[in-house]
Structure 1
Amino acid sequence: MEQEAIERLYQAYGQGMLLYAWSLTKHKSDAENLVSEAFYQLALQKTAPKEIKFWLYRVIKNGFLDQQRRKKRWKFTLFHHEAKSQTQQVDEWLIEKESHQALYRSIEKLTPPYKEVLVFFYFLDWSIQEIADYLALSNGQTRTILYRGRKKLKEDLGDD
């Protein structure tokens, strides 16, 4: 693909992709690596994929799953990561207001289908149809997951 086209796509989708990658990894640097890898993979393509937006998000998700598989095989600990708490890194990077911390922590606790749908819907402003297309679900299934995710958040947050 042409460099100008890739730059336009990065301007259009980069922030949303970074937020999505962060929601999976919980680390700023890992999220940035996933996003840059997705755009690198796009640059290697001779012809543009049909649904570029969804294709990029799929590359991020597959890259994350590959990382998780590698981590299971090779269990070693990086000591400099233990020095700072993961939530502290995330809070410094994404959460500016103390009132939102509980919401972000509750979203982190959710299992992938609920977490993904909530992040896509509320933070990336995707429509139900876009989410359904991306996750290969029907609109009804997507709405149900969104409803149940909201319900789980409400239970976790209580009266807040």
Structure 2
Amino acid sequence: MHTVETRLAKLARNGDRSAFEELVQLYKDKIYHLAYRMLGNRQEAEDAVQETFLRVYLNLNRYDETQKFSTWIFRIGTNLCIDRLRKKKPNYSLDAELPEGDGGDWYSMLASDEALPEDQVILSETQQHIRGAIEAMPDKYKSVVVLRYLQDMSLQEIGDVLDMPVTTVKTRVHRGREFLRKQLEKLEKKKWTDFF
């Protein structure tokens, strides 16, 4: 099965620059969103995108055309983010950088229908809490949760990207969800404690 991406990768491998540019156009936003969700920082996400495409370019000759190109590029991007997270000191904070006017944001899917200003404030707080909970999540859960819920990948696709059995992916998704739930419950309790 030869997809457009596979054909483009083949052309790029043979020196076709416009084919490589097309691959960049197809994947730069997806890789940026993945990196931003994992790293929680705009500048680091942009650096990760550049590094991902550099690695893709340098390793095109190693791309196995029997696998989906998307799996291959997501594996490179995810591994890069995991490496960056390991090198970073664990300084988790609920005041993580929040993008101003970040258009393609997954939080925009939480609600629309022109909410009232006070609802907007509550939604914004919820978004910050969710972001903070994702920031605090252990790396091994963060990658599967980001791929599952923010990149909308199937368990099998995540297994392919992270090169792990689907049973492990399932376990990590479950534990990641539990971690998020507990973090959000703690915040909820704290909010009520602060209120009274």
Whole-angstrom distance in 1 between the partners of 2:44 and 2:148: 23
Q: How many residues are treated as equivalent by the alignment?
A: 147
Whole-angstrom distance in 2 between the partners of 1:108 and 1:62: 17
Q: Which runs of 5+ in 2 are unaligned?
A: 1-11, 109-122, 189-196
Bigger CA radius of gyration = 2
Deviates more, 1:45-54 or 1:120-129: 45-54
TM-score by length of 2: 0.61
Q: Does 1:120 align with 2:162?
A: no
C-alpha change, 1:106 and 1:15, in structure 2 (3 Å) is same
Does structure 1 retain, via aligned residues, the 8 Å contact 2:32–2:45?
yes
In structure 1, the residue matched to 2:97 is 89
Percentage identity across aligned positions? 27
Whole-angstrom distance in 1 between the partners of 2:173 and 2:96: 28
C-alpha change, 1:155 and 1:131, in structure 2 (3 Å) is same
Deviation (angstroms), 1:18: 0.8
C-alpha change, 1:141 and 1:61, in structure 2 (3 Å) is closer
In structure 1, the residue matched to 2:70 is 53
In structure 2, the residue matched to 1:132 is 159
In structure 2, the residue matched to 1:78 is none
Does structure 2 retain, via aligned residues, the 8 Å contact 1:6–1:39?
no
CA RMSD across the alignment: 3.0
Deviation (angstroms), 1:158: 1.8
Secondary structure of 2:98's counterpart equals helix
Residue 42 of structure 2: which of 14, 23, 28 is its match? 28
TM-score by length of 1: 0.73
Does structure 1 retain, via aligned residues, the 8 Å contact 2:144–2:172?
yes
**2:133 is matched by which residue type in structure 1?**
S
CA deviations 1:67-119 (Å, max 9, x no partner) are 854x78xxxxxxxxxxxx99463343556750311111111111012111110
Deviation (angstroms), 1:54: 3.3
Q: Which one has the bigger helix percentage?
A: 1
